[in-house]
């Protein structure tokens, strides 16, 4: 996905990536990334949490408008209320 | 901003995914590591921009076939009408827990919220099409860079998109 953003940007289309995997994003280096430290699959928060969904979107839009540094990763100052892990192939996938 | 953060440390996905795919017998994944990035400044304020969104989370309209939840090297890319009903989607991807997104698409692909921001004037307009594709486990990345991503970007150009919001999963 970061690669797609890079290709878009090289073709003249601005991008902002909303990432839940900070180390993955740091490797690929999309042009602009908002890191949301929520579980993968919950990039915009919990179901029906309209306020958080809007907050993440607005932070991404502000980053798209304001970023001047290529490859920047901005951390959304929000925390998931419970500990979480990543288990690919587990129930729910 | 990060000094305010009180949650857990970010999950080390690189090592976890390497272990997961190694245990499945896949060859070692050669991660893309870039030292620099291109940057195209937004040509005008967001409130005047045309915006679209791309998900790689195996999300498709119910009228379409489901994505292969275990896909590898799947270059399928669906165009989704910008007025699609957020209750009319299915998710097939074994890579992440999408039970919350099954209940409310907007926690992974917030099309209702984007339309609200457009209606409130915070976004200039939405492109006629949203997008779903580029699922994980793409090993032939040169094909992404040389073929599928440029083809996708050409479609964005047809829709006169100023800003792409990309949501990997």
Least confident of A42-46, B17-21, B161-165: B17-21
Stretches in chain A below the pLDDT threshold 70 = 91
Q: How far is A86 from chain B (nearest CA, A)?
A: 7
* Residue B10 to residues A32, A36, A39, A65, B142, Cα–Cα distance (Å): 18, 9, 10, 26, 29
Among residues B37, B161, B130, B118, the alpha carbon closest in space to that of A13 is found at B161
Q: What are the extents of the domains in chain B?
A: 44-167
| pLDDT value, residue B160 | 98
Contact (CB<8Å) B40/A9: yes
Q: What are the extents of the domains in chain A?
A: 2-75
For residue A77, the chain B residue with the least C-alpha distance is B5
In this predicted model, what pLDDT tens digit does every residue of B124-145 receive, in sequence order?
999 999 999 998 677 778 888 8
Mean pLDDT is highest, among B28-32, B71-75, B100-104, B140-144, for: B100-104
What ipTM does the predicted assembly reach?
0.96
**Least CB-CB distance to B107: which of A53, A78, A92?**
A53
DSSP calls for B76-122: -EEEEETT--TTSEEE--TTS--HHHHH-GGGTS-HHHHHHHHHTTS
Q: What is the pTM of this model?
A: 0.94
In this predicted model, what pLDDT tens digit does every residue of B34-89 receive, in sequence order?
999 999 999 999 999 999 999 999 999 999 999 988 877 888 999 999 999 999 99
Mean pLDDT in chain B? 91
HSE-up (13 A, CA, CB side) for residue B145: 10
């Amino acid at each position: 996905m970061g690669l797609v953003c890079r290709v878009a940007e090289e073709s003249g289309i601005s991008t902002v990536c909303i990432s839940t995997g900070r180390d993955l994003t740091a490797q690929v280096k999309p042009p602009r990334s908002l890191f949301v430290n929520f579980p993968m699959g919950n990039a915009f928060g919990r179901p029906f949490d309209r306020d958080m969904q809007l907050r993440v979107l607005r932070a991404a839009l502000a980053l798209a408008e304001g970023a001047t540094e290529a490859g920047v990763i901005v951390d959304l100052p929000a925390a998931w209320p419970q500990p979480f892990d990543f288990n690919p192939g587990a129930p729910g996938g | 901003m990060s000094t305010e953060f009180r949650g857990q440390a970010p999950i080390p996905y690189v090592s976890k995914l390497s272990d997961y795919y190694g245990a499945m017998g896949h060859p070692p994944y050669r991660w893309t590591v870039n030292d620099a990035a291109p940057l195209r400044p937004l040509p005008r304020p967001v409130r005047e921009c045309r915006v679209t969104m791309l998900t790689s989370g195996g999300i498709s309209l119910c009228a379409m076939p489901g994505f292969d939840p275990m896909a590898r090297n799947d270059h399928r890319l669906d165009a989704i009408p910008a007025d699609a009903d957020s209750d009319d989607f299915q998710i097939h991807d074994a890579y992440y827990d999408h039970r919350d997104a099954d209940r409310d698409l907007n926690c992974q692909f917030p099309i209702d919220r984007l339309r609200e921001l457009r209606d409130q004037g915070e976004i200039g307009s939405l492109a006629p099409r949203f997008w779903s594709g580029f699922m994980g486990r793409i090993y032939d990345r040169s094909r992404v860079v040389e073929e599928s991503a440029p083809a996708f970007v050409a479609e964005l150009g047809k829709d006169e998109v100023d800003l792409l919001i990309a949501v990997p999963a």
